[in-house]
Amino acid sequence: MSYTDLTPIPFSNVEITGGLWKERIDTVRRVTTRDCIRKCAHNIENFRRAAGLSQGGFEGVFFDDADIYKVLEGVSYVLMGGADAQLEREADEIIDIICAAQQEDGYLYNFFVLGDLSKRWTDMDHHEDFCVSQLVEAGIAYKQATGKDKLYNAALRAVDQMMHSIGPDGDSWISGHEGIEMALVRLYRYTGEERFLRDAEWFVEQRGHTKLRLPISYYKTFFTDEYCQNTVPARELTKVTGHAVRAMYYYSGLADIAAIRGDKELQAALRRLFDNVVPANLYLTGGIGQSAYNEGFTRDWSLPNLTAYCETCASIGMAFWNHRMELAHGEAKYADLVEREIYNGILSGLSLKGDHYFYENPLASVGTMHRREWFHVPCCPTNLVRFVPSIGGYLYATAPGAVFVRQYIASHAHIPLDGGEVELRVQTDYPWNGSVRIEVAACEGEKRLMLRRPGWCERWTLCKNGEQVQVQEEQGYLPVSVRAGDVVELELDMPVRRVHADPRVAEDAGRVAIMRGPVVYCAEEVDNPGIPTEYFHADLALQKDAPLSTAFDADLLGGVQTVQAGGVRMIPYYAWDNRAGGGMAVWLRETD
């Protein structure tokens, strides 16, 4: 049976009940949301000044408004997971200031409100529409979390002002930083108003036809059609180009529109793009965007490790896009890539304590790369604060008569299906082991449970009510029929394994990496002393026949599965640089 057009189950229907992700969500609740609010103080001050509540001009980077919107979205998701009166009170105060800064016509962008309003909507790279997109996402989220619509109404007014200024009746427009497409589709799905979907399509249809306009941007030196994904119309796309985050947001918006409209040409273009990203522009960790110069793509098969940019936001964007691709096509390979991102490329961006961050995520270090408290452009911390607490939205989806279990995380889910409800309780210590127990606590009649068989897993066993069952894999999923009271147990074989790069990746010739399940491992100098820091990443070696073993260390890095590869001790890549500084390497020299 072939499934397409899956319906995602929102994370508000899913309680994360234990394991690695509950710990990460709790850390974001306790630490990261408050850390981001505190460090976005100047962003809030800009709104206060724009509202006339204090004196002074604009401070920071022109698109700084977006970061406080993302933090408010993250706060919303935290509040959906449980009441937090103090956090909600802080958010309400910030929202009051934001709304006081909004102009009478709905315009809300502090750089020009505190500067020269005559220049608004004249520079395609000034992120005005991107800031509107983040305001929309935050407004919807906060209304869903609290029932309060003040920020949501401000977002609606901002959208109306934007479309009146640059929409179909105005001049043509290319968004310098995509994101507005996803936000408008979300607004369409939330309101049911067709105009928002048409607006999203209008933004898409401009690309490949419209000349860039940027009279004041300081990015002029490389703000090109390629950088902005403006080389060809959407349906003619064949190759990823330009800024990695912007590209992923663009493709996510395209995937939304293609799914709603049933646009086969657009879906074909997205599949071509996927086949170009994977594997020719994809790091083992799921990182994308090789170059710091353009924060984006360079050329196929060029994947340097020490200088890899791999922005945290780009990995989040990859999760956004592949989440949508799987919903459209029902193929596990897209969920496999989401899994790679969430356990490696994304999770690495947040320190275990929750208040230090990676913007770049290289696959090797000479001891000079460290997590930082904050950044001049803090898009990655503020993106993490909204992604982590929403992880439950990536776990389940439905098709008629079927529930798809896409990611294995300890959880309790209420899943609407065929006019009734399926209630699942999942117990697992994934990714540290491959045992997954699913109790069907409620189910009307018989339904199909579709369990993803991860692409890395070669052997597995499936039992229902204690008896082993044989099934025929469908699109990377293992189907099993269930009724209320059934217990399904999936055992995924999870050996430590060696990984070799495609021979076209010259950087990794003669090297080997280690994975276990979905987790990429790395070696840190703190665990493997003896090689000078600056040579550690180049000289650390693993013999071809060296034994590989694993053990769980509850006292290390919050509790992780470690790997002993010959004489080399390795930890999960996401957890590196949480202890003493030093060298780090994912790809090790392979010797005889």
pLDDT digits (tens, 9 = 90+) for 450-471: 999 999 999 999 999 999 999 9
Q: Any catalytic annotation for residue 379? A: yes
Residue 443 has pLDDT above 70, yes or no: yes
Q: What is the pLDDT of residues 36-83, one digit of tens each?
A: 999 999 999 999 999 999 999 999 999 999 999 999 999 999 999 999
Residues 126 and 104 in one domain: yes
Q: Alpha-carbon distance 532 to 269, whole Å?
A: 47
Cβ count near 276 (within 10 Å): 18
Residues 460 and 507 in one domain: no
The last residue of one of the domains, among 492, 510, 533, is 492
The pLDDT of residue 555 is 96
Q: Alpha-carbon distance 404 to 395, whole Å?
A: 8
Catalytic residue (one of 379, 443, 457, 522): 379
| Residues facing residue 467 across a β-bridge | 464
Catalytic residue (one of 295, 341, 524, 525): 295
Residue 238 lies in a domain: no
List the domain range (segments joined by +) for residue 183.
40-231
Residue 446 lies in a domain: yes
Residues 524 and 563 in one domain: yes
Residue 172 lies in a domain: yes
Residues 404 and 534 in one domain: no
Residue 231 has pLDDT above 80, yes or no: yes
Q: What is the pLDDT of residues 312-345, one digit of tens each?
A: 999 999 999 999 999 999 999 999 999 999 999 9
Residues 210 and 101 in one domain: yes
Residues 511 and 451 in one domain: no
Residue 215 has pLDDT above 70, yes or no: no
Which H, E and C letters describe 324-391, residue by residue?
HHHHHHCCHHHHHHHHHHHHHHCHHHECCCCCCECCCCCCEEECCCCCECCCCCCHHHHHHHHHHHHH
Residues 224 and 106 in one domain: yes
Residue 581 has pLDDT above 90, yes or no: no
Cβ count near 405 (within 10 Å): 25
Residues 516 and 486 in one domain: no
Residues 215 and 107 in one domain: yes
Through-space distance between the first and last CA atoms of the chain, rounded to whole angstroms: 47
Please report which confidence band the pLDDT of residue 210 belongs to, taking 50, 70 and 90 as the band edges. confident
Reading the block at residue 298, the tokens are: 């360079």
The pLDDT of residue 222 is 67
Residue 216 has pLDDT above 90, yes or no: no
Residue 70 has phi, psi (to 5 degrees) of -65, -40
Q: In CATH, what number is assigned to the domain containing residue 416?
A: 2.60.420.10
Section 279-299 average pLDDT: 96
Residue 307 lies in a domain: no
Residue 217 has pLDDT above 70, yes or no: no
Residue 104 has pLDDT above 90, yes or no: yes
Residue 11 lies in a domain: no
The pTM is what? 0.97
The pLDDT of residue 225 is 86
- Closest among 454, 487, 486, 255 to 340, alpha carbons compared: 454
The pLDDT of residue 176 is 87
Residues 151 and 218 in one domain: yes
Query: Going by DSSP bridges, is the β-strand pair 420-428/460-464 parallel, antiparallel, or unpaired?
Result: unpaired
The last residue of one of the domains, among 454, 470, 492, is 492
DSSP 552-568: EETTSTTSEEEEEETTE
The last residue of one of the domains, among 190, 214, 231, is 231
Omega within 30 of 0 (cis) for the link into 389: no
Please report which confidence band the pLDDT of residue 169 belongs to, taking 50, 70 and 90 as the band edges. confident
Residue 322 lies in a domain: no
Per cent of the chain over pLDDT 70 is 98
Residue 171 has pLDDT above 80, yes or no: no
Residues 501 and 488 in one domain: no
- In total, how many domains does the chain have? 3
Residues 466 and 532 in one domain: no
The pLDDT of residue 220 is 55
Residue 442 lies in a domain: yes
Query: Going by DSSP bridges, is the β-strand pair 420-428/411-417 parallel, antiparallel, or unpaired?
Result: antiparallel
Residue 459 lies in a domain: yes
Q: Any catalytic annotation for residue 295? A: yes
Q: Alpha-carbon distance 392 to 417, whole Å?
A: 18
The pLDDT of residue 221 is 60
Which H, E and C letters describe 131-195, residue by residue?
HHHHHHHHHHHHHHHHCCCHHHHHHHHHHHHHHHHHCCCCCCCCCCCCCHHHHHHHHHHHHCCHH
Mean per-residue pLDDT over the chain, rounded: 96
